[in-house]
Amino acid sequence: MKPWHIEIREHIDRWSRQLGNRGWWPKYVYHFTDVTNAAHIIESGTLYCRTEAIRLGLMNVDNAAPDVIGHTSIERQNLVRLYFRPRTPTQYQNEGIRPLGQRALKAHCPVPVFFCFDAFALLSRDSTRYSDGNIGSARVRIGEDSAFFASIPFNLVFHDGWFDVNNPAIRDPIIFHRNAEVLVPGSLALDNDLVFLTCRSAAERRTLLQLLPEAVRTAWERKIRLDQPGMFERKWSYVEDVVVIEAAISIRFSPSSYMRGPYTVRFIYQEDGSAHTIDLARKFDKLPRALRVPLPDANAGVVTLYLDDALAFRGRVYTNPIPF
């Protein structure tokens, strides 16, 4: 533990008081990734740095823009990267399912899941380092001692709300410092300091659980929560819920005004105990608020939904009432 850990505790307490309804932000440090990556992380029990995650085949979806990673040194890619806050500029750029033709930055986190770690435990570790912005930036500063930590402008790190985007003198420091990071060398085990995980919707929580092996699912289910205000942007497409209504699957999408297309929606149903699948695809210029797929002969099975190439939902459904 860092010898100045009392200052870290005071920092958390002070900012928790000052941030009002965002007072929970400083109590955790955050890692977000796509649901497919999250399932691999949970199953392995460890959050790895980028180079190790790629070597182990644990990164199905790359959240980072190639040009940013191209300017990030190998030494820095050997660090586990977490944020001091949710809703960073990075998250703003890549959260949610964008149509294939609207991914300008090539950074994409279709179904984001947050890993929320105890801030005091991680910030106080001897090996933990801190940055005052995105470590892919040439002007970022990185340090690990008390003086450096005190020099980070947390009024900008925790800044929330409107600012003048047309004024670079105001805009640029806010965007830069909102991306300040907590850096752990190599890997970070989930068993000690992970407090909970958060999903954006009930459907996405079901997806994460469905991607886990049964024993792992049982062990982790209580730690996987639904969203609380201030965690997600909710500006692009995602599935809110999937329910069965009169022998049909009803898929309800988010009401975001950004739900323009075109999207190719692919629906797959696999009946339990059968090799036969129902595989349907349709292109939409704009997603409907809800999509209804009749399955009159189905009993129980797994529904998988893709928007273009992105997994949007996977979960078990029962189309016939369960007898009691």
Give the pLDDT of the chain (324 residues) as one tens digit per residue.
999 999 999 999 999 999 999 999 999 999 999 999 999 999 999 999 988 878 777 666 655 555 455 455 677 889 999 999 999 999 998 899 988 888 766 678 999 999 999 999 999 999 999 999 999 898 999 999 999 999 999 999 999 988 888 899 999 999 999 999 999 999 999 988 999 999 999 999 999 999 999 999 999 999 999 987 889 999 889 999 999 998 899 999 998 755 678 999 999 999 999 888 999 999 999 888 899 999 988 899 999 999 999 999 999 998 765 544
Strands of 248-253's sheet in order across: 239-244, 248-253, 290-294
Task: Calculate the alpha carbon distances from 45 to 40, 56, 224, 279 in Å.
Answer: 8, 13, 14, 34
Closest CA to 50 of 183, 200, 144: 183
For 257, how many CA atoms within 13 A lie in the half-sphere containing its CB? 0
Q: Is the dihedral angle over the CA atoms 308, 209, 234, 115 positive or is it negative?
A: negative
Q: Is the dihedral angle over the CA atoms 135, 141, 145, 148 positive or is it negative?
A: negative
């999937």: which residue's tokens?
A: 242
Tell me, what's the pLDDT at 278? 94
CB 32 within 8 A of CB 86: yes
User: Any bridge partners for residue 112, and if so which?
Assistant: 34
Instruction: Quote the CA–CA distance of 205 and 209 in Å, as a whole number.
Output: 6
One-letter identity of residue 189: A
Q: What are phi and psi of 144, to 5 degrees?
A: -140, 0
Categorise residue 158: left if φ over 0, alpha if ψ from -120 to 50, beta otherwise. alpha
Which SS3 state, helix, strand or coil, does residue 277 take? strand
Which SS3 state, helix, strand or coil, does residue 11 take? helix
């941030």: which residue's tokens?
A: 19
Q: Which two tokens stand for residue 263?
A: 């999207």
């190639």: which residue's tokens?
A: 66
Q: What are phi and psi of 295, to 5 degrees?
A: -135, 70
CB 202 within 8 A of CB 226: yes
CB 134 within 8 A of CB 179: yes
Taking only the tens place, the pLDDT of each residue in 64-123 is 555 455 455 677 889 999 999 999 999 998 899 988 888 766 678 999 999 999 999 999
Strands of 194-199's sheet in order across: 142-143, 129-131, 181-185, 79-83, 28-34, 112-118, 194-199, 224-226
Q: In CATH, what number does 237-318 get?
A: 2.60.40.10
Which SS3 state, helix, strand or coil, does residue 232 take? coil
Portions of the chain given CATH number 2.60.40.10: 237-318
